[in-house]
Structure 1
Amino acid sequence: AGQAFKKFLPLFDRVLVERCAAETVTKGGIMIPEKSQGKVLQATVVAVGTGSKSKEGDTRPVSVKVGEKVLLPEYGGTKVVLDDKDYFIFRDGDILGKYVD
């Protein structure tokens, strides 16, 4: 599993992500107050676990890679603070999808 983040390694099918910054200004240039900003559901994968085990004992790799942009569910995930930055851990199966170019 590729690791861009050396201080924390998720276990099994877990994925460590960093949420993208919330939009603070509209396209027209109007500042959006923090209370009105929607929850950011897009994130960048920072680290991935080795994958889950099948019933036969085979390892099924995680479906996303470090650096990919993913869509998160509105609720869930475990918040982790590393180097004064907020990250979130999700199970691979909880990630809704990934963005492709």
Structure 2
Amino acid sequence: MAEEGCVIGDVRCNTSACANDVTLNSEKPRETSVLISMAETFANYERYILQPKKTEALKVVTSSRKEIVEEDFEIYGNKITNTDTSTHLGLKRSHTISSTAE
């Protein structure tokens, strides 16, 4: 039996889906820039446009990284807005990781 679909990391995606949101996660600015470039390349290949005005960079403080270092990222040559909080589908994300609800 042939396997169909694709793999993202070690996660097999066997069904077709359409999503309008993408999250890129990285601990290093250079890796983040590479991931953004890959997303742009794939979007161009598949002939759709990412939304620069809706794109945000949310810096997260972890136990290993106590301070937020502001980095400037670009998508299609436009600066991505740095933000402390982001809300999508009613879920609020902030720059700190917490196990308790606010």
What's the TM-score once normalised by structure 1's chain length?
0.23
What's the TM-score once normalised by structure 2's chain length?
0.22
Report the structure, 1 or 2, having the larger helix content.
2
Structure number with greater CO (CA < 8 Å, separation at least 6) is: 1
